[in-house]
Amino acid sequence: MDESDTAAIIPRDVLNAASADDLLPEDSVHKDQADERSSRPPRPPFTCPLPVSVQPVLFLSMFSLTLQAPLSTQYLWDRISEDLGYNGSKRSECSNGSAPLDPLQKEVETLTAHWNLYISLGGFSVGLLVVPLMGSWSDLAGRRPILILANLGLTLQAVVYLVVMYLKLPVVWFLVGRLLSGLSGDFNSVLAGCFAYVADTSDRRSRTFRVAVLEACLGLSGMLASIIGGQWRQAQGYINPFWLVLATSLASALYTYLFVRESVLPDPSAVLFTTRHYKSVWHLYSAGGCSSESSESLHRSKLWLYTLCFFLVVTVHCGSRELYVLYELSSPLCWGPALIGYGSAAQHLAYLSSLLGLKIMQYCLEDSWVAVIGLISNITGLVVFSVANTTALMFTGYGLCFLLMTATPVLRSKLSKLVDPSEQGALFASVACVESLCFLVGSSVFNSLYPATLHFMKGFPFLFASIILLIPCGIIGTLQCVHQRRGHIESTPS
């Protein structure tokens, strides 16, 4: 019987095991080197010369999203106005005219708001199913695939929107584009992948600041997109700016493929469509994950409490942010476009001032106390907004919110430290879904509260937001006090 017959009868793994024992010393060295290479994540085709990793991915994706949102809303307004034969413009109570509101304008406003709601709910509903699936899958398959897929989905959405604008298709096709993006993970998968990547590549000490850098990228990108999009839309309409939306989404996917090094050793057998990924997400909050805490129930409680804090903080951010422009446009402030632009810039600059403040405070304070100080900054600013009746007072509120964004990176970091390194994708996918829920809840609650309280206090929604923030402030402070007390007891000799 020749060698080929033997190989056909004896299993391949047996032959491999036998041949491994007979390797020469130099062959063993080569085998060890091959095993070491196989235990490393694959390298991308190119190496980025700058000291960055996924920051450009999040920056470009956020730029695309921020540029797209107002353009699509304004297109819906103009398209619905054209279909209904309405040629007027929106009036404000600061205008000199005293004519009653045009019923046709009211219908245009209602239909635009409804379509915005349908598109947001459609993306959220699909994302609620897809994002946890992809986030948990990334713990096995790697972070690069979900970042590429999600950005390609955003690119496809931009393509659909451009086709709708060129061909003047029914606005229902906007919903179709949003659903296609949701099926590939949407922007929430980009968030989950980027934050999980930072958790993979940072130690516990530096993680909070690394997360804060990513959040600063969100703020800076949003500020630039708001400035560029408004000016470009006024000069050239919708279509040319939307080509930039498509280009930045595609550039984010290409950058990920070409330059981002994988942070997880991919498992070739990882399957995307399986209920195992949903079970992994459920396991985080039911079993508490892996931790060094002595009490599993305490660990699970902290996971739920920090998630609740994150939900409340982001809901207030999303809900109050939508009221700033409306509050500034109306009496008694009656701001014009220039002042509104300065206010928006001041709001986005809080991302950078929060990053600097967090870095400085970390030298002398625990992360929890940094978050509490950030929440106090936010609370005082909101209280000033609630009574602001002059431009100076409004900008004073913006100034007091200079540590606005220190709480969310601390909460993301604390949640990340409560789970096993192999569960970071599942965790941040859950956090991204919570963030989408925050947007829907915050938008619904605050946009309903504002007109309902105009008759007794115009700034009441801001006061309400400041009261809500007292809850996470108390929870974070209490958990830190409990932690310090337990550490003191354990360090005290018996």
Confidence of residue 451 (pLDDT cuts 50, 70, 90): confident
- pLDDT top residue among 475 and 125: 475
For the ranges 112-126, 228-242, 263-277, 399-413, the lowest mean pLDDT is seen at 228-242
Give CA–CA dist 88/341, Å, rounded.
24
Give CA–CA dist 381/447, Å, rounded.
19
CB contact at 8 A, 176 and 197: no
Query: Would you call 136 helix, strand, or coil by DSSP?
Result: helix
For the ranges 88-92, 229-233, 416-420, the lowest mean pLDDT is seen at 88-92
**DSSP H or E run through 353:** helix 337-361
Residues of the chain with CATH 1.20.1250.20: 50-88+102-258, 283-494
**DSSP H or E run through 203:** none
What pLDDT, on the 0 to 100 scale, is given for residue 376?
97
Confidence of residue 405 (pLDDT cuts 50, 70, 90): very high
What pLDDT, on the 0 to 100 scale, is given for residue 493?
60
Give CA–CA dist 382/388, Å, rounded.
10
Residues 370-386 have pLDDT tens digits of 999 999 999 999 999 99
Instruction: Give the pTM.
Output: 0.81
Phi then psi dihedrals of residue 96, to 5 deg = -75, -25
Give CA–CA dist 441/487, Å, rounded.
38
Confidence of residue 439 (pLDDT cuts 50, 70, 90): confident
Confidence of residue 286 (pLDDT cuts 50, 70, 90): confident
Of 413, 401, 399, the residue nearest 368 (C-alpha): 413
Report the helix count and the strand count for the chain, using DSSP H and E.
18, 0
Most confident of 69-73, 187-191, 275-279, 372-376: 372-376
CB contact at 8 A, 88 and 291: no
Residue 86 backbone zone (phi > 0: left; psi -120 to 50: alpha; other: beta): beta
Residues 34-47 have pLDDT tens digits of 444 455 677 788 78
Look at residue 476 and tell me whether its pLDDT is greater than 90. Answer: yes
What pLDDT, on the 0 to 100 scale, is given for residue 223?
82
Provide CATH code, domain 283-494: 1.20.1250.20
Q: Per-residue pLDDT averaged across 22-41, rounded?
A: 48
One DSSP character per residue, 220-280 reads HHHHHHHHHHHHHHHHH-SHHHHHHHHHHHHHHHHHHHHHPPPSS---TT--SS-HHHHHH
Q: Per-residue pLDDT averaged across 140-156, rounded?
A: 94
Query: Would you call 461 helix, strand, or coil by DSSP?
Result: helix
Give CA–CA dist 137/433, Å, rounded.
15
CB neighbour list of residue 64: distance below 8 Å, 6 or more residues apart: 154, 158, 225, 245, 248, 249, 252
What pLDDT, on the 0 to 100 scale, is given for residue 485?
84
For the ranges 127-141, 326-340, 368-382, 402-416, the lowest mean pLDDT is seen at 326-340
Structurally, what CATH architecture does the domain formed by 50-88+102-258 represent?
Up-down Bundle (1.20)
Confidence of residue 14 (pLDDT cuts 50, 70, 90): very low
